[in-house]
Amino acid sequence: MRKVKIYVIVLILSLIFVISGCSRKDRGRFDAFMEQLFLDLVSSPLDANFLVKDGEVYGFENLTVEPLTFSKEAEAEYYQKLRSIKEELENFNYQKLDPARKLTYRVVLDYLELSLSFEDYYYYNKPLGSYLGYQAQLPLVLSEYHFYTKRDLENYFDYLKTTQTTFENIIAYEKEKAANGFGMNDREIDGIIKQCEDFLAAEENYLITIFNKKIEDLPFLSIDEKNLYRKENQNLVMNKFLPAYSYLTKELKKLKGKAVNKQGLAHFEKGKDYYQILFRDATGSKMKVSEAYEYLDNKFKAGFKSLLELLRKEPDIYDRVETLEVFLNKSYQETFNFYLENYADDFPKIGNVQVRIENIHASLEENSAPAMYFLSPIDAEVTEVIYVNKNLFRERPTYAFFTLAHEGIPGHLLQHSILKNSSLPKIRKLIGYSAYSEGWATYVETYVGKYTEVESNLLLAYHLNDELSYTYLCLADIGINYYGWSFPKFKEFINQLYNFSDKEAEDIYYQLIEVATNYLEYYFGYYKLLDLKAKFMEASKNLNLKNSDYEFHKFYLETGPAPFYILEEELEIYLNQFKPNRKVRFFNENCPHSPNISTEVVL
């Protein structure tokens, strides 16, 4: 009997492959293409160092440190490469792929199409910024550079050495931009200069302190070698790296007064079109910006209505929100452990995890994000790293509680851990979607209140207050950068909800110009996730699910990073497995994405 059963299984599997048309050769060729694409897209030692622990397995030890360059010739070469990759991808017969590979196909195709859409916007790129710019994040990234081998140490030193050339190339690019009407406004320049000056003013540069601490524990170095490396690092930081920041500061001052456009992107010739592309990149949505504005406006009105209803029931609730204290006087580690002890019933488990939670160095606090999680390598289990801005956390302890959920568990850390330990191809672990990850991390902030003893209405009021504030900023972002609002128009809009001084309103106005679509990553992504969950919950009413929240979280996290229109398509496929008497479909005949139809620090 056992032999008969085996033969039947073999026959069924054979029929599956015949029906689906996905031969072993087709699968192998597709997988090889995706593997090679993964290798090709990792182009620097810095990328490789944060992506994997064992770079030699992938040939990454041959990558060399090169300064950043900006030229139309290099841009043209890059986009031609993307077109060639897209053409090769479209040569695969989509309909003959199995469902898992179809998903990979669609995500990669979306990534290529989105990347190619930036081709005609050479002067719109912004390498610098007061807190999201290359120069602002570089010191923190280098402080976390992994020293797995001596080659890593040499590459790290090369980054210190080449920073000057990189900054020279950026200044040359910024001068070219200014000459063509795309110069940075003085507010942006002043913010970048201040960030550089704060970094330079530190009594002792933390790149020296951290390096000395890290190198002490390296088993592959002798005592003499450690001493030599310490001296080399101090020499390069003091005589190469810091002078590069002095150079950048000096040259940026020369660029002041050259901006032609001191307002949002809409005031550039193709600014509205560029903003539409930025919007798709930031949100994982193909929605038109005008439709997105209406969508967010409706979300704002619904949230405002909910808050008013709460206030009618409990007139003092807003005052209580102002003084809300959650998990007070707990250390970062105690808060993290609290989540670790409570999350497992509602989210997929990741087992034991070690985390190191550090304060952002004082020299970076003023121009830094509230917190950030460093993605761990996809090929190894290591101590996870979260940085927090202690000043902000000290001033707002309740905010700190929810922000650690955002960065840690069940936020970014959980999402990345599930992704890296999944069976998804490595290309899916490389290509990120901001709204997918930031929408998730924002969502879990509102979810974890259930683990506390705070009354539900008070938590609802707290989160509604945040949602309304940031949704309003999303609307303002679109207003300034897509509809072209002037400062007076923006101030009139913002003061319908707040009572800002001219200076306060000005600060917000220019921040939204500097980091256009930044808030949309978080809150448009959050709302699209909630829409997706609502569909899931509606469908699950007729399904035998023990814990609908858990199943939705499992679906979202195990599907992996993708734009929301693809997540919506995958949702139906996922729910199909729970339907009684369901029919097995070996391929999706109606998939709209056929071959003929044309992602890091996370904050």
Domain ranges of the chain: 2-41+71-123, 128-262
Alpha-carbon distance of 295 to 303, in angstroms, equals 12
Least confident of 6-20, 155-169, 511-525: 6-20
- pLDDT for the residue 360: 84
Residue 277 in contact with residue 117, Cβ under 8 Å? yes
Which pLDDT band, with edges at 50, 70 and 90, does 370 fall under? Answer: confident
Alpha-carbon distance of 456 to 450, in angstroms, equals 8
Separation in Å, CA 71 to CA 116, 251, 470: 17, 19, 36
Higher pLDDT, 595 or 574: 574
Residue 576 in tokens: 């199909």
- pLDDT for the residue 579: 66
Nearest-5° Cα angle at 466, 344 to 284 = 70
Mean pLDDT of 498-505: 93
Residue 61 in contact with residue 153, Cβ under 8 Å? no
- pLDDT for the residue 87: 98
Alpha-carbon distance of 141 to 500, in angstroms, equals 35
- Dihedral of the CA atoms 95, 99, 100, 106 (nearest 10)? 50
Other beta carbons within 10 Å of 49: 24
> Residue 283, exposed/middle/buried by CB under 10 A (0-12, 13-18, 19+)?
buried
- pLDDT for the residue 603: 53
Residue 388 in contact with residue 603, Cβ under 8 Å? no
Which pLDDT band, with edges at 50, 70 and 90, does 591 fall under? Answer: very low
The DSSP-derived string for 248-277 is HHHHHHHTTT--S--S-GGGSTTHHHHHHH
Which pLDDT band, with edges at 50, 70 and 90, does 589 fall under? Answer: very low
Q: What is the pLDDT of residues 541-563, one digit of tens each?
A: 877 777 889 999 999 999 999 99
Coil vs helix vs strand at 211: helix
Q: What is the pLDDT of residues 171-194, one digit of tens each?
A: 999 999 999 999 999 999 999 999
pLDDT over 50 (residue 7): no
DSSP assignment, residue 516?
A: T
Residue 284 in contact with residue 562, Cβ under 8 Å? yes
> What is the identity of the amino acid at 542?
N
Alpha-carbon distance of 515 to 467, in angstroms, equals 19
pTM: 0.90
What are the strands, taking DSSP E only, across 349-434? 355-359, 371-374, 384-388
Other beta carbons within 10 Å of 506: 15
3-state helix/strand/coil string of 31-51: HHHHHHHHHHHCCCHHHHHHH
Average pLDDT, the chain: 89
